Amino acid sequence: MTFSAEKIRNFCIIAHIDHGKSTLADRFLELTGTVPKREMQPQLLDQMEIERERGITVKLAPVRMWWKGYELNLIDTPGHVDFSYEVSRSLAAVEGAILVVDATQGVEAQTMANLNQAVAAKLRIIPVINKIDLPNADIDRVQREIVGLIGCQPHEVLKVSAKVGTGVADLLDRVVEKVPAPGRATANQTRALIFDSVFDEYQGVVAYVRMFAGSFKRHDPIHFLGTGKSSEVLDVGRFSPQRVGQDELAVGEIGYVVTGLKDLRAVRVGDTLADSAEAAPLPGYRQVQPMVFAGLFTQEGDDYSKLRDAIDKLHLNDASLTFEPEHSPALGYGFRCGFLGLLHLDIVQERLAREYGLRLIVTVPSVAYLVTTTDGQQKTIHSPLEVPDQSRLREIREPIMRLDVVCPADRLGPIMQFISQRRGRYLTTEYLDEHRAVLHYAIPLTSLLVDFYDTLKSASAGYASMNYDFLRYDPADVVRLDLLVAGERIDSLATLVYRDEAYSRGRSVTERLKAILPRQMFEVKIQAALGGKVIAAETLPAMRKDVTAKLYGGDVTRKRKLLEKQKKGKKRMKLFGKVDIPSEAFMAILRR
């Protein structure tokens, strides 16, 4: 069934983590009859196993519903800051956004971040207070926060309970009333924006699209304006929420196009799908900027080609993942990958293991530094191994993030003290009301990488939430810390550290490596060095073997001769012996 554009409403749900987006989407599906009650289950649109286990949304999920004669196209979005690119892509495909706020938690950091994105995309905002059925719901306070944030009238804020269904029908009516119908294109061309894609072994690349002009039918020619590839439409359809084929995908609709292409690089998120190679491209998306980098290597060396194919397919479904080939003398061939944060890295690692059966070694996460050499050239480095020689190095700049922390007003002291200890520079404080404040800081991205959120939660008694975004590059006094085992430098364990933290970091890593490395037949020195200067060292004792055990008597000189021979052998091994560092040692050290 195809509707005219005037009867179509495209919208998404945006919110902070755990404020009830997925549960609200479940009630929409149930109330509109899109999914029969016998097939309903919690988090229906979270179709990945890892999403259900962790209780978080990782991927955007489109679905089409019908309500009182209108076609409603919903895109459910993630809430975590590491998946903000999924949110931005969803916003470009719709005209309206439901902003969900928890009645017990109020406005949080990601509430404001997602709202700012929606306002920038010029979407119609529908504010909603969720979880009004909970005994500790503070509806009046949360309503005041939303009114102060958006500038709307109090009566415009809807109160719902996604869990029990209270007010959900009124919310659907509000979507029909407030969200504008898709605008009609003036150009006589068929054009669609690709906002996501997946790979099917039989059908090739399946592009998720929003139609901005014209329509696509089976066997129509299609052209990818960004990559220059051409193909033919094998099938078109809608999401219910599984893919369901239909005769035509018309202007204003959200659906999928089966391209039949097996070349994974032929389809790119943000590209324009058109019926003519001469068509004008749609604006598309801003290029994503990865913030965290790590090397991915297989534990089995012959799995490299399998890893390459898996990352290609994963990138098709996760456009914020970047990667390039990398070789390590210790770990072999792999990829240097860019992520939006540590949770993103964790999810990608988990998906590669579950969906493609890969056992991976992940190197220490690092950030992208901007390096200026003495001849004035600038380049971005993603690994400590790329740092130029000290004689050629003029300056290193590190990424600084704007950090927003929403917290109780009575916990400001401990939180500010903690952020200052992590090299945060105070900017301003805003108050949402007399009980809640928003702290704004400029902080190095490296300070956010390890245990920051967990410690922040502890400092705020569990009530703080945070959001961060790139601010600028600032000069940083960082140095490369090398690790040597048995006199041999282990490149894969090199890290960039602040100069004033180099000694303590060197001590900590050498001690940990001593506890992890298996003992050898000879004494092994473990050293941390800055350039040619050793700043910390540990010694792994030799394994003791009783070479006199086979003696059953005779002169004592026989025993002395064997012990002397063993001593010379160990001395020779110490000069020429090599230590193989097991994968478990890399994992333990690099995860800190």
- pLDDT tens string 132-164: 998 988 899 999 989 988 888 888 999 999 888
Does the pLDDT value for residue 575 go beyond 50?
Answer: no
More reliable by pLDDT, 297 or 176: 176
Q: What percent of the chain has pLDDT over 70?
A: 85
In a domain, 63, yes or no: yes
Kindly state the DSSP code that residue 223 receives in the 8-state scheme. E
221, part of any domain = yes
Residue keyed to tokens 């033919």: 232
In whole angstroms, give the CA distance from residue 242 to residue 255: 11
Query: Cα(151)–Cα(153) distance, rounded to whole angstroms?
Result: 7
105 within a domain of the structure (yes/no)? yes
- CATH number, domain containing residue 18: 3.40.50.300
Do residues 40 and 26 share a domain?
yes
Q: Which residue has the higher pLDDT, 588 or 472?
A: 472
pLDDT confidence bin for 592, thresholds 50/70/90:
very low
What's the pLDDT at 124?
Answer: 93
- Neighbouring CB atoms inside 10 A of 202's CB total 6
Residue 1 has pLDDT above 60, yes or no: no
Q: How far is CA 52 from CA 45, 186, 316, in A?
A: 10, 43, 22
Per-residue confidence band for 97, with pLDDT thresholds at 50, 70 and 90: very high
Cα distance between residue 501 and residue 444, in whole Å: 15
Residues 6+ positions from 542 with CB-CB distance below 8 Å: 519, 520, 521, 522, 523, 524, 570
pLDDT at 47: 60
**Is 398 within 8 Å of 408 (Cβ atoms)?**
no
The whole-number average pLDDT for the span 90-109 is: 88
Exposed / middle / buried, residue 185 (Cβ in 10 Å: 0-12, 13-18, 19+): middle
Distance CA 310, CA 304 (A): 10
Is residue 184 in some structural domain?
Answer: no
pLDDT at 79: 65
Q: Is residue 223 located within the same domain as residue 235?
A: yes
Residue 66 included in any domain? yes
Render pLDDT for 287-333 as a digit per residue (tens, 0 to 9). 777 878 888 888 776 778 888 888 888 887 777 788 888 877 667 78
Token duo for residue 33: 């009859």
Looking at the fold, whether 149 and 224 belong to one and the same domain comes out as no
Residue 483 CA to residue 494 CA, distance in Å, equals 6
Q: Which of 514, 573, 556 has its CA nearest to residue 539?
A: 514
Domain C-terminal end among 149, 178, 207: 178
User: Within this chain, do residues 161 and 253 fall inside the same structural domain, yes or no?
Assistant: no
Whole-angstrom distance, CA of residue 108 vs CA of residue 21: 14
The verdict on residue 415 lying in a domain is yes
What is the model's pTM?
0.77
51 & 149 share domain: yes
- 382 and 454 share a domain? yes
Q: If you search the block for the tokens 């995309």, which residue do you land on?
A: 121
Structural domain including 317 reads 292-364
pLDDT digits (tens, 9 = 90+) for 21-36: 888 988 888 888 887 7
Instruction: Dig out the tokens for 531 from the structure.
Output: 């350039």
- Based on the structure, what is the number of domains in the chain? 5
Distance between first and last Cα of the chain = 55
Whether residue 521 is contained in a domain is answered as yes
**Per-residue model confidence as pLDDT tens digits over 351-397:** 888 888 888 878 777 888 888 888 888 888 887 878 887 778 888 99
What is the reported pLDDT for 179?
A: 92
Is residue 248 predicted with pLDDT exceeding 50?
A: yes
> Cα(415)–Cα(436) distance, rounded to whole angstroms?
13
Residue 585 has pLDDT above 60, yes or no: no
Q: What is the CATH number of the domain that holds 212?
A: 2.40.30.10
